[in-house]
Amino acid sequence: MRWIDVWVRFAIVIGVLACAPILPAHSTAAAQSTGVPQDANSAVSRSAAGPAVDIHIEDVERFYKVYDVAGGHPTADQLQHDYLDPGSDGLHHLAQARRVTGVAIAKTLAEHPEIYSDAKRCMAVLPEVRLRLEVLLRKLADLYPEAKFPPITIAVSRGKPVAIGSPDFGVQIGLEALCAVKWADPNVENRFVRIIVHEYAHVQQAQALVDNEHPTVLERSLVEGAAEFTTELIYGEPAEVDEPPFKERTEGHEKGIETAFAGDENKTELSAWVDNSTMEKPGDLGYWVGYRIVKSYYQHATDKRQAVREILQMTDPKAFLAKSGWYPGIRLQ
């Protein structure tokens, strides 16, 4: 199977579509032969309607060229030199932030080859994802007029993370990780939309907090909880903590989980609370506690629009917690 040699662009514009898809004349047949959506990438544009969002898939195309040439078994050296090294800025940031190397990808590929062979199918939903984002990201801009919408890079990683977002580096999605999670929404289109909205919340947050390499449990949990709650405001549900397997772990156990959290909130060892989900089951209870703290803050606020600003502009997690009205086991609406 050959992947398209020329990447195609489309514009995702908040409010109205700023321009029609720009399709190279010779891309159609190749795209049809590979199953990659013809309008899976977007051109940067800006109109009176508001900011635009780029979605880039050229890293995915390059990965699968390497993968296909190697018969599905590329070496660590091939992955490093032919996929990662010539990659986009977004891929390079993902690699640096989450230790993505040719060796790491090759290891995951050997242990879980199915997640790489299955991931291509997820690309087919991108046109519908684009249309839904037009509406949802306009909601974010309405709630928070200062909102920024830097590029989204869809790439292939080492089986994790599903996604990361940063004020300086935009949004990166790990295609194979997003597609492989067994406990998440079975609708892949919904997964893309929810995760992208969650990551765009991170883009609006204080860089010092989002990109802190040594956060406390409280700091990291509030960063993630704010993104989960923002996703609920925009999408109608959080990105992760409302999934049925998550609810099974938390419903009826709120006080016990949150009492333990309060005891750990100042620690910098995060493994009990975040970054501990697997493909088979959710972890990340810090996301859930952080979401509940942020939701308590919002529900106690009289000016909801100002509360959204304070949630996204949070710089002092301790002060935010004190003002939130949260306590272990609190009942929220």
Residue with the larger pLDDT of the pair 48 and 194: 194
Number of neighbouring beta carbons within 10 Å of residue 158: 23
pLDDT digits (tens, 9 = 90+) for 269-326: 999 999 999 999 999 999 999 999 999 999 999 999 999 999 999 999 999 999 999 9
Average pLDDT, the chain: 87
The stretch 51-73 carries a mean pLDDT of: 91
pLDDT for 127 = 87
Identify which of 152, 302, 287 has the alpha carbon closest to the alpha carbon of residue 230. Answer: 287
Q: What is the SS3 assignment for 167-236?
A: CCCEEEEEHHHHHHCCCCCCCHHHHHHHHHHHHHHHHHCCHHHHCCCCCCHHHHHHHHHHHHHHHHHHHC
- State how far Cα 80 lies from the chain centre: 23
User: Residue 5: its pLDDT value, please?
Assistant: 37
Q: How confident is the model at residue 120 (pLDDT cuts 50, 70, 90)?
A: confident
Q: Give bridge partners of residue 22 from the DSSP assignment.
A: 9
54-58, 79-83, 139-143: range with lowest mean pLDDT = 54-58
Q: Is residue 165 within a helix (H) or strand (E), and if so which, with residue range? A: strand 163-166
Q: Give the pLDDT confidence score for residue 322 in this predicted structure.
A: 98
Are 104 and 111 spatial neighbours (Cβ–Cβ below 8 Å)?
Answer: no
pLDDT tens sequence across 126-140: 889 988 888 899 999
How far separated are the first and last CA of the chain, in Å rounded? 51
Residue 256 has pLDDT above 50, yes or no: yes
Predicted local distance difference test score (pLDDT) of residue 130? 82
- Can you tell me the mean pLDDT for 143-171? 95
pLDDT exceeds 50 at position 261 = yes
> Is the pLDDT assigned to residue 330 strictly greater than 50?
yes
Q: Is 135 left (phi over 0), alpha (psi -120 to 50) or beta?
A: alpha
Digit-coded pLDDT (tens) for 182-200 = 999 999 999 999 999 999 9
Whether the pLDDT of residue 42 is over 90: the answer is no
Nearest to 57 by CA among 105, 125, 143: 125
With a cut of 90, say whether residue 4 has pLDDT above it. Answer: no
- pTM to 2 decimal places: 0.85
The reported pLDDT for the residue numbered 51 is 53
